[in-house]
Structure 1
Amino acid sequence: MSETVIENLNVEAQEVLITPAKLKAALPLSDTAKAVVAAGRDTVRDILDGKDHRMFIVVGPCSIHDVELAKDYAGRLKKLADELSDTLVIIMRVYFEKPRTTVGWKGLINDPYLNDTFKIEEGLHIGRKLLLDISEMGLPTSTEALDPISPQYLQDCISWSAIGARTTESQTHREMASGLSSAVGFKNGTDGGLDVAMNAIGSAVKPHRFLGINNEGQVSVIHTRGNRYAHVVLRGGSAGPNYDSVHIKLCERALEKANYPKNIMVDCSHANSDKKPELQPLVMEDVTNQILEGNTSIVGLMIESNINPGNQKIPADLSTLEYGVSVTDGCIGWEDTEAALRDMRDKLRDVLPKRKRLV
């Protein structure tokens, strides 16, 4: 009598992955890097608590596809961060995981060589090494927490985390966010509505128990304390942008009604710039004007920026990739990034210290 197979019918293979502990032992955080990560986290918390008058700016490539390019960008950003540090706290956007509606390149960790070889363990090594290198430069980093397993491998290097519009509604990601060591921003839903983000904040600030892995790679029940530094990120939606003063006021009222701190971050990209990256500086200008006119709730911005503007498709011949150009969403180039951030700093330098925030 033949045995009927009923398990793993659609699983072709399984690979045992390096444990988080072994990856961290192979690529440990130096004392310098630890200090940068901790200082970045503390500064973001102080801004969210109203103890630090500055704004934090998460800026960098839509996704990381070239490590040397990322380090080139980081070196430039570090110099600019030092220059603007009296007004703006600069955190580099270092995104390794990309959500996909159907199919497509899922990011450096999933497919580090951009050729469908899916060397995920090598991707984890490459990604962690890059985070260490950027931290050693003195620049804090941020990322999107997309895969619920990867934070055990990388979160100790991260100063701020995002939960994307497609996953803000996910119970798995809300539970995960409740245990992240950094502050976490929840984006509004793809329709532009606030309810999903409000519910996500309400969930993430509370303790949870859920299945995950521990530092030794064992399947475990994870017990979290809750993350009280969860906040909202406005990124627009199918109905259009939501960074204008009317939408900001509506968001303030929703936060107040829910008894959450009135902390709002604006994503200058995505629907807020009609997916036209060159419009991001206009969003920054509008937000700056709102603060000049008395806004006290906007505490941060997110900007998609690269060395060169625009984006490109991943070619079959990777040697033809254009240097410094995104392979996912379009970005503004470095010159526009510098100009827009300097302009914002110059206009807000004397204003932010006088801003009375009621968090």
Structure 2
Amino acid sequence: MAKDPVNNLNVLSQDLLPTPQQVKNALPLTEKAQATVLQGRETVRRILDREDPRLFVVIGPCSIHDIKAAHEYAKRLKRLADEVGDTLYLIMRVYFEKPRTTVGWKGLINDPFMDDSFHIEKGLHLARELLLHLAEMGLPASTEALDPITPQYISDLITWTAIGARTTESQTHREMASGLSTPIGFKNGTDGSLTVAINALHSAARGHHFLGINQEGQCAVFRTRGNRYGHIVLRGGNGRPNYDSVSIALVEKELAKAKLPVNIAVDCSHANSNKDPAVQPLVAENCVNQILEGNRSIVALMLESHLHAGSQPIPSDLKQLKYGVSVTDPCIGWETTEKLLHSAREKLKPVLGKRKAPG
């Protein structure tokens, strides 16, 4: 870049990206894929409105780094979704962006080749290509909205969106959420506090005016109507879980006090499992038992699951990567995933249809 004594003192270069419309023209939304997305969003809305008694379960790898492994996982998950679909509505977790406290790999979109080359244009293409493949399979997908520009490239292929614990307090993300077409889950703060998530739910439900880019890549002012399908996601905080019945009862009370729908999703990972994948099934089983004992507020579960259990560091020689193993948070393996969801389905099938909404 040319030297400028005033602007961009710490910017080394600028590279133009293809516009959202150009990427969508290259990988257009097909009729079959659109049907999957629309049906998925409507199903989640119906669950949140208590018109569908099932639970929705957001499940899949902590992050996507290997497209081949993602395809294999999706094929298995689609088969499992058909087996448990009368009780559990499965949505594949397809996370392309990873928030970082300091530094580290930021996900497939930011660095698709995992070598610090940061070919973001290729990452956007790969992300959309994968989502299109899943939607054409009939498998709904979820992701975390982190960069406020990224949704313009892929949000038409997303069924459910999460706002992470680090960004729930962000005004930018609350504004973005108010305009997203998907139901959206706000996680409680990293310290375990509920206040930031409750404030976020109120904010996202209202209309906003903010800057963004349109499909042609132009800067634009967006005016939104607000998203009424926001809900809280409990993920624990500061090493303390918040999925137990006492914590759930306190959250119910706070949501009712705030005049918000008493809809709760439980993230079985993160602080709720102390990042130990072996604990995730125990958290899920605890939530299932709460429902069996009369809980009416838990509407969803989140689980980090992959082809194989555990996690691995990213090696300098990428040929040493183990296939189907997470490179971010540790996950449960496929055998555990199948056993857990089949067990939950068998326990919940007799009771969910008789379950009444809170209040």
- TM-score between the two structures when normalised by the length of structure 2: 0.99
Q: Look up the match of 1:214.
A: 214
Mapped to 2, the partners of 1:209 and 1:157 lie a distance apart of 24
Structure 2 equivalent of residue 249 of structure 1:
249
Q: Which amino acid aligns with 1:54?
A: R
d(CA) in 1 for partners of 2:102, 2:219? 29
> Which residue number corresponds to residue 296 of structure 2?
296
| Alignment match, 1:201 | 201
Q: Which amino acid aligns with 1:178?
A: S
SS at match of 2:25: helix
Q: Which runs of 4+ in 1 moved over 6 A?
A: none
RMSD of aligned Cα (Å)? 0.9
1:148-174 deviations in Å (ceiling 9; x for gaps): 000000000000000000000000000
Distance in 1 separating the partners of 2:4 and 2:128 = 43
Deviation of the 1:278 alpha carbon: 1.1
Partner letter of residue 201 of structure 2? I
Letter in 1 for 2:303: I
Q: Is the 8 A contact 2:108 2:123 kept in 1?
A: yes
Shift of 1:29: 1.0
The answer on 1:188 being equivalent to 2:185 is no
Q: Deviations over 1:76-103 (max 9, x none)?
A: 0000000001000000000000000000
Deviation at 1:358, TM superposition (A): 3.3
Contact 2:262 2:297 in 1 (8 A): yes
Deviation by residue 1:212-262 (Cα, 9 ceiling, x = unmatched): 001110011111110000100000000500000000000000100010000
Alignment correspondent of 1:327: 327
1:139 aligns with 2:139: yes
8 Å CA contact 1:50, 1:358 repeated in 2: no
User: Does the CA contact (< 8 Å) of 2:178 and 2:204 recur in 1?
Assistant: yes
* 1:9 counterpart residue number: 9
Residues 307 and 324 in structure 1, CA contact (< 8 A), matched pair in contact too: yes
Please name the residue that 2:265 is paired with.
265
C-alpha contact (below 8 Å) 2:57/2:91 kept by paired residues: yes
Map of 1:63-74 to 2, 5 A cutoff?
Answer: 63-74=63-74
Deviation at residue 4 of structure 1 after TM alignment? 6.8
**Aligned twin of 2:29:** 29
Cα deviations across residues 59-116 of structure 1 (Å, max 9, x unaligned)?
A: 0000000001000000000000000010000000000000000000000000000000
Partner of 1:164: 164
Unmatched 5+ stretches in structure 2:
none
Contact 2:87–2:349 at 8 Å: present in 1 too? Answer: yes
Residues 239 and 274 in structure 2, CA contact (< 8 A), matched pair in contact too: no
Distance 1:163 1:4, change over 3 A: closer
> Are residue 61 (structure 1) and residue 61 (structure 2) matched?
yes
The one-letter code sitting in structure 1 at the alignment partner of 2:169 is E
Percent sequence identity over aligned pairs: 65
Query: Are residue 75 (structure 1) and residue 78 (structure 2) matched?
Result: no
Give SS of 1:299's match: strand
Partner SS state of residue 291, structure 1: helix
Cα distance in 2, alignment partners of residues 278 and 103 from structure 1: 27
Structure 1, gaps ≥5 residues long:
none
Output one character per residue of 1:174-229: Cα deviation in whole Å (capped at 9) or x when no partner: 00000111000000000101001000000000000001001110011111110000
Which letter maps to 1:310? G
Give me the whole-angstrom Cα distance separating, in 2, the residues matched to 1:80 and 1:229. Answer: 27
Question: Which whole-Å CA distance do the structure 2 matches of 1:351 and 1:323 have between them?
Answer: 39
- What amino acid maps onto 1:99 in structure 2? P
**Aligned letter for 1:200?**
A
In the TM superposition, residue 54 of structure 1 has moved relative to its aligned partner by 0.3
SS at match of 1:350: helix
8 Å Cα contact 2:210/2:223 also seen in 1: yes
1:264·1:297 contact (CA, 8 Å) conserved in 2? yes
For 1:79 and 1:357, how far apart are their aligned partners in 2? 30
Cα deviation digits, residues 282-339 of structure 1 (max 9, x gap): 0011000000000000000000000000000000111110001000000000000000
